[in-house]
Amino acid sequence: MEAELIAWYGRAKRDLPWRHTHDPYAILVSEVMLQQTQVDRVVPRYLAWLQRWPTVEALANATAADVIRAWQGLGYNRRALALHHAAQAVAQDGWPDTLTALPGVGPYTAAALRNFAFGDVDILPHDVNVDRIERRTGHGFTGAAAQALMDLGATVCLARIPRCDVCPLAAACPSKGTRDTAARKQSRFEGSFRQRRAATLRLVSVADTPGESLDREAVEALVTDGLVIVLPNGTVALP
């Protein structure tokens, strides 16, 4: 089954910029950006980010304020600070043996780095796509099929409307034609506290802003996350 999948990947793989490098820093940037953000939104931001900060040392030397500004529009802004802190840690001490020691790097991201950057094909990074394919097929894949699994899960073996008619694994798949139940949808962004936070951060990213003119609860949450600071005169600024 894995051989069929890898052969299909050779014909149908997506041409994504982070697949043209084994630089662990570039792979880390892509993995952090891809958390909870769609691929088509990430690609131009990834390219712009690496043009501005092409090395881990370059990002480590950036200011937190510039990093936050550059992240605007990708959402979940704490990821930007985690990436910045991880770059600072690597610039100072190198890549650790235990990658989850880096800020913002969990088991999946660590496994992706091990496989895609450091060449450890014995490790299979498990995301929702990989888990879904293994559950449906009842087959355990190796790390050599990681990229193929991610493409199959993103384009063919979809959760709600799987495209079994074009799936290279359909002939041997016991779940052919099966649809997953709808997952619980994320709460609406419009009118949410997340929107209020995002709007407040955008204002502060443009210029330091008097606290009394901002959403107090949003400012408090952003301070807690380290995304803004309140100066002694009450002005809210990026760190």
Whether residue 31 lies in the annotated active site: yes
Q: State which amino acid sits at residue 206.
A: V
Residues with Cβ within 8 Å of residue 96, at least 6 apart in sequence: 89, 102
- Choosing from 4, 31, 212, 220, which is the catalytic residue? 31
Q: Coil, helix or strand for 207? A: coil
Q: What is d(CA 180, CA 225) in angstroms, rounded to the nearest whole number?
A: 35
**Residue position matching structure tokens 């630089």:** 23
**Residue position matching structure tokens 């355990």:** 140
Which residues, listed in sequence order, are joined to residue 236 by a DSSP beta bridge?
Answer: 209, 230
Active-site annotation, residues: 31
